Amino acid sequence: MRGIFRYEQKETIIHSIDPRVKLIWVFSVSTLTITAGVPWVLLAIFLSTLPFWAMLRPSREKIKSIAFVLFTMVFGFMISQSLFYYWGETPTFTIIPATFPVIGPITGGIHVYMEGAVYGFIQSFRFMA
């Protein structure tokens, strides 16, 4: 997984494009992901980047590594946001109740919020695109 972001010289359409054009494209996609807040739009932006990535003809090893990184990122964002989402209203379930000695009164209890998991899912698509 060490060479996941290492440059590979290949004869592809993407490799022959002027680097300035690629930078403008990356800036445009980044701007779209920042301004879009609807999950299906973020999914569409992410899916629109996949054909360009496929044109690079990545190796099977690189595809596996990228898939692992993306899955881990989505899972991590969803878990962290479901635990620490500030605006969660209804806990899906409680990990540590507020009555638990020492930690309970300090934290007010540790709860898992579905709203936080959805928010983490949305944020992960911003990073993946």
Decide if pLDDT at 5 tops 80.
no
Distance, in Å, from the CA atom of 120 to the CA atom of 74, rounded to the nearest integer, reads 7
At residue 5, what are phi and psi to the nearest 5 degrees?
-110, 15
- The residue type of 109 is G
- pLDDT score for 36: 87
Q: 25: part of which helix (H) or strand (E)? A: helix 19-35
pTM listed for this prediction: 0.73
Decide if pLDDT at 78 tops 90.
yes
Location of structure tokens 């992410």: 46
Decide if pLDDT at 103 tops 70.
yes
- pLDDT score for 2: 64
Q: What contacts 74, CB < 8 A, 6 or more positions away?
A: 120, 121, 124, 128
